[in-house]
Amino acid sequence: MIVAIDGPAGTGKSSTSKAVAAQLGLSYLDTGAQYRAITWWMVSNGIDIDDPSAIAAAAGKPEIVSGTDPEGPAITVDGVDVAAPIRTPEVSSKVSAVSAVPEVRARITELQRSIAASAEQGIVVEGRDIGTTVLPDADLKIFLTASPEARAARRSGELKGSDVHSTREALIKRDAADSSRKTSPLAKADDAVEVDTTELTLAQVIECVVTLVEEKRAGK
């Protein structure tokens, strides 16, 4: 059972995906963390983020290993635990530029497909292009949405002390970058189930997705 959960930042993808995977005994993969990890490596190694050819040339160098335990999804780069450093504002501000480079997407997509293929119990994979590009044959595709205001409020709640207005502007900018890139843009797959989380609590979103997965498993 492969479940693809896509959507823009702040819709509750990570929290929902982890909880659903844990509840249903599935593996879990945060694909955004992989793009953050390669971005962190580029920044740490002095690669010019404004030079796509430099990024492309270095895309194959770092060794990225993703843990798939929903209770504690680990991620390492060249053996270094980067779960915390990949969440810094510096990495957040550069991940769209790095993610847009085709060589980076090809490298990470290959990694994601191999992880999904080796998940014996099934897996929940969350990201922005999972249902459209990475795993187009996923058993169930879900696209989470929410209003920019709701997403900004959630994201600024996660990032203690951040301003809701500036968070909203940053999210809209990120959406535009992700939706307009040439390679694997953020998009809803034609056969995805859209779930608007604006008015829902996290528990309600999790319940909704679990129900969708269970119905799919039952062949409905």
Taking only the tens place, the pLDDT of each residue in 75-99 is: 999 999 999 999 998 999 999 899 9
Of 171 and 4, more confident: 4
- CA dist 178 and 139 (Å) reads 24
Mean per-residue pLDDT, 45-74: 96
Q: Tell me which residue has tokens 């693809």.
A: 4
The reported pLDDT for the residue numbered 169 is 83
Which tens digits make up the pLDDT trace of 196-208? 999 999 999 999 9
* Whole-prediction pTM: 0.89
pLDDT value, residue 160: 63
**What is the mean pLDDT of the segment spanning 26-53?**
97
What pLDDT is attached to residue 161? 60
Mean pLDDT on 47-52: 97
Q: What pLDDT, on a 0 to 100 scale, did the predictor assign at position 27?
A: 98
Angle at the Cα of 31 (from 30 to 33), degrees rounded to 5? Answer: 75
The pLDDT assigned to 158 comes to 67
